[in-house]
Chain A
Amino acid sequence: MPTPSRYWREIPQRYRLEAGKCKNCGLVVFPPRIICPRCKSRDFEKVNLAESGKIITFTIIRVPPQQFVDQAPYAVGIVELDDGVKLTGQIVDCNFEEMKIGKRVKIEFRKIFDEGEAGIICYGYKFVPE
């Protein structure tokens, strides 16, 4: 369960898709990093992720963690965006039968889960078919 500060600190990534681009070798990393995994440079600029890409693998979660119980079954996949970044997220607004590797999807801003009546409502990115 995220505390307010833990949730707030990830907002630039989750709400605005802010990534880091290495000024030395050009690698785009998400979430942003302090040191480049490819060339070890520490010089980054802020860029935004590409907002569409394709599914490279997926699953349907039938036995969820506690805070996702009311959503199951739901699809989660790894998507390779058009800038080469790969990220994990839910794939929604799509029949499970229509899901396949290679399918084009775009990013939308959605509710991820909530903590109940008094807790934080957690938002972020999900994938929907293009």
Chain B
Amino acid sequence: MRDVAVIGVGMTKWGELWEKSLRAIFVESALLALDDAGVDKIDSMYIGCMSSGLFVGQEHLASLLADFLSQAPAPSARVESACASGGLALRMGFIDVASGMSDVVLVGGVEKMTDVNGHEATYALSTAADQEYEGYHGITFPGLYALIARAHMEKYGTTREQLAMVAVKNHHNGSKNPLAQFPYEITVDSVLNSVMVADPLRILDCSPITDGAAAVVLCPVEMAKKMKKPVVKILGSGHATDTIALSSRKDITWLEATFQAAKKAYSMANKKPKDINLIEVHDCFTIAEICVTEALGVVDKGKGGEAVQQGITSLQGKIPVNTSGGLKAKGHPVGATGVAQVVEVVKQLRGEAGERQVKGARVGMTQNMGGSGGSTLVHIFERE
């Protein structure tokens, strides 16, 4: 297997982009990544997208996006693993380069979510759950994470305020990210007084509906060095699955797929949780970040809420989590999220993260999950 580097990253401003089509937001981010890498021709491309079919009635993104990026006849594939589609695209690109099949690979993620109304968007997202045995009974995604939150509060004494602190922290980080959908600060009070969506989760516990894309360019480390590029190496890649239905799990509060994916990534990278300088995690809801930090082993089981309260995961903390603002403040165009996490980690490791820069960051990690945790990708990166 060849060592693989990320040599280019690209992301445009996220939000409700009424004036832009799916193909436009994808091509803009992809071009930024290609320009950053200094390449104009790719050997292949992978696109993470959860549901262009339900959101814009368009499938066959492989052809559409290679075509509009002017890269046809390059081989192109769209991959799907619900909200982990972007992370999965990265893994496919990584395997392609590492195997020697391709040298220069573009990995992109995209979701155009505001061409449908709120109910239709809620429905499209709900297809990541078991449609016959969860969706049929009227459960929503905020609802599934609310079930996890209630169980976590009961089992470990996690408080409502601690959940709010996740959102406050991520909005603080997001206020320093000009590309974020909601780059402003919020308070614990504003979270606790926001509209209830699925008890105990309120609207400010939830990531938003977002249009957006992100892209990165991969190539072998040897080639990157010849190109005199700053080398951010992919040290480890972990991928795992769990039951699709939340109810089928032994412990509702434990994200086994995240634990398993992290175990593989740590082992491949020869790193331990204490070696990681910053992490981008899948905070689709505030409770998710708490459970993810536990499953990644950066905090003890049941202590995710306390860790946020003590500031361990803040920008100045021992292990900063979601320096970009996370899904909460940056936005969550589902298929793009896993790739945008890589964009943030690479910027941090290159020292290009501006006001939110983690000083001396050398090793970073991303965790991207689908549904209520039924699939997860974990990647570890190091600046050479």
Contacts and interface: CB of A to CB of B under 8 A. Distances in A.
Most central of B142, B147, B245, B247 by chain A CB within 10 Å: B247
A53 B209 CA distance: 37
A63 B142 contact: yes
B374 to A, nearest CB: 13
A112 B138 contact: yes
A113 B151 contact: no
Interface residues on A, range: 20 to 34
Interface string B128-172: 000011111111101100111011001000000000000000000
Interface residues on B, range: 35 or more
B247 A10 contact: no
A61 B141 CA distance: 10
A64 B137 contact: no
A94 interface: no
Interface string B258-288: 0000000000000000000000000000000
A60 B142 CA distance: 10
B53 to A, nearest CB: 15
Contacts of A71: 138
A31 interface: yes
A16 B203 CA distance: 38
Contacts of B198: 59-63
Given A59-B198, A60-B199, A62-B196, A90 B123 contact: no
Contacts of A64: 138, 140
Interface of A: 10, 14, 31, 37, 56-69, 71, 74, 76-78, 86-90, 96, 101, 112-113, 122, 124
What are the nearest 5 A-B pairs in CB distance? A59-B146, A57-B151, A68-B138, A60-B199, A86-B247
